[in-house]
Amino acid sequence: MILVTGGAGFIGANFVLDWLAQSDEPVVNLDKLTYAGNRENLASLHGDARHHFVHGDIGDSALVVQLLRQHQPRAVINFAAESHVDRSIHGPEDFIQTNVVGTLRLLESVRGYWGGLDAEQKAGFRFLHVSTDEVYGSLSPTDPAFTEDNPFEPNSPYSASKAASDHLVRAWHHTYGLPVLTTNCSNNYGPYHFPEKLIPLMIVNALAGKALPIYGDGQQVRDWLYVKDHCSAIRRVLEGGRVGETYNVGGWNEKPNLEIVHTVCALLDELCPRSDGKPYREQITYVKDRPGHDRRYAIDARKLERELGWRPAETFESGIRKTVQWYLSHEDWVSHVQSGAYRDWVQKQYASESAA
């Protein structure tokens, strides 16, 4: 079995759903259920004995040690993090607590468990740390895309905390021999994306007749990857990645924010036209820029292709259409997230359950 942390969030939930759609290997899913954790994302797994959800913190060493002893996973995949750049600017402390201190404690718990395994289990064990391209800093328009050899130049409290966690993971391999793997991925989009991030925010605001806030001039460039492709990359690295290595994951799909928002608006015009017949792009408003806003990210994912044969399956055109359609057909999910009702969802849905 595998232990996944942060598996009620956007990418973690997609990962758990995809994993159990293609394998019967059970998953223990440890999640603190912060505002970003939503058990409704995992509703389709209710009653599925292969999925064991545990409400808890990666920094709770006693709990993590007990889970490792009890379930004896062959791998730990660490998605748990505070993930939103704007929130990190308003309040960095939680980011340090989970992304740095939490990762440290998780590494220490896992090191103790791994040290007690027999030689064969020890050799097969993996700790896979899910990280971001933001650790590399910002590119100018003509710079080559980030490779795994780029120096770390994080610019936000979020990216600084992720960079620190990546360094800890690296050090636990070099110093203690822990068999680690790290992935550094670009911007994801797709189902279950919390509507504080650009793409889902634009979809839900557009449908609600609200403003579509573009930071600064909207010409910041991101490299967008459909979340299911990120999940397939993680599975590939877990099975075949070289221990101690880092792998960049990206969509080969650089686009300025304004173009992304225009694409979302055009899809909504087609799939769910405004009642007044006007285009959604009329709702775009330019707002104050994000402090320290990174201008451009671009990922060179050739190492992952060369070594492990991974390429994204989805094009941006197909992925963004699926994403908009998903939000249009999941009005309940959106309204529960917006009203905060998703936080009571477990109690309501599973009123008869004795454990969370």
Footprint (CB under 6 A) of ligand DAU, residues 293-332 = 297
Instruction: Work out what residue 31 binds among ligand DAU, ligand NAD, none; the CB cut-off runs from 5 to 8 Å by kind.
Output: ligand NAD
Q: How far is the CB of 202 from ligand NAD (least distance, A)?
A: 15
| Residue 133 in tokens | 């391209």
3, 4, 6, 241: which one binds ligand NAD (CB under 6 A):
6
Q: Which of 31, 134, 294, 314 is catalytic?
A: 134
Whether 134 sits among the annotated catalytic residues: the reply is: yes
Residue range at the interface with ligand NAD (CB under 6 A); choices 76-84, 262-270, 275-283, 342-350:
76-84
Reduce the DSSP state of residue 8 to 3 states and report it.
coil
How many Å is the Cα radius of gyration of the chain? Answer: 20
Reduce the DSSP state of residue 347 to 3 states and report it.
helix
Footprint (CB under 6 A) of ligand DAU, residues 13-72 = none
Alpha-carbon gap, residue 170 to 296, rounded angstroms: 26
Q: How far is the CB of 10 from ligand DAU (least distance, A)?
A: 9
Does position 221 bind ligand NAD by CB under 6 A? no
Q: Strand pairing partners for 347?
A: none
39, 126, 173, 197: which one binds ligand DAU (CB under 6 A):
197
Helices (H) and strands (E) in the chain, counts: 14, 12
Footprint (CB under 6 A) of ligand DAU, residues 243-262 = 257
Sheet architecture: strand order including 187-189: 187-189, 221-226, 254-256
What residue type is assigned to position 248 of the chain? N
Whether 133 sits among the annotated catalytic residues: the reply is: yes
Residue range at the interface with ligand DAU (CB under 6 A); choices 107-115, 163-171, 215-223, 239-247:
215-223
Does position 129 bind ligand DAU by CB under 6 A? no
CB 60 within 8 A of CB 34: no
Q: Strand pairing partners for 247?
A: 183
CB 85 within 8 A of CB 91: no
150, 159, 182, 188: which one binds ligand NAD (CB under 6 A):
188
Q: In this structure, what is the dihedral angle of CA atoms 75, 79, 81, 85, given to the nearest 10 degrees?
A: 150
Nearer of residues 5 and 220 to ligand NAD, judged by Cβ: 5
Q: How far is the CB of 61 from ligand DAU (least distance, A)?
A: 25
Q: Strand pairing partners for 225?
A: 188
Instruction: Work out what residue 58 binds among ligand NAD, ligand DAU, none; the CB cut-off runs from 5 to 8 Å by kind.
Output: ligand NAD
Alpha-carbon gap, residue 41 to 192, rounded angstroms: 6
Tell me which residue of 133, 114, 126 sits closest to 237, measured CA to CA: 126
Q: For 315, which DSSP code?
A: -
How many residues touch ligand DAU (CB under 6 A)? 19
Instruction: Work out what residue 12 binds among ligand NAD, ligand DAU, none; the CB cut-off runs from 5 to 8 Å by kind.
Output: ligand NAD
Tell me which residue of 206, 252, 205, 201 sits closest to 226, measured CA to CA: 252
Q: How far is the CB of 199 from ligand DAU (least distance, A)?
A: 7
Tell me which residue of 245, 293, 267, 46 sits closest to 131, measured CA to CA: 245
Instruction: Work out what residue 182 binds among ligand NAD, ligand DAU, none; the CB cut-off runs from 5 to 8 Å by kind.
Output: none
Q: Which residues bind ligand DAU (CB under 6 A)?
A: 83-85, 132-134, 186-187, 197-198, 201, 213-215, 220, 222, 257, 290, 297
Q: Which residues bind ligand NAD (CB under 6 A)?
A: 5-6, 8-12, 30-34, 36-37, 57-59, 79-81, 83, 98, 102, 130-132, 162, 185, 187-188, 194
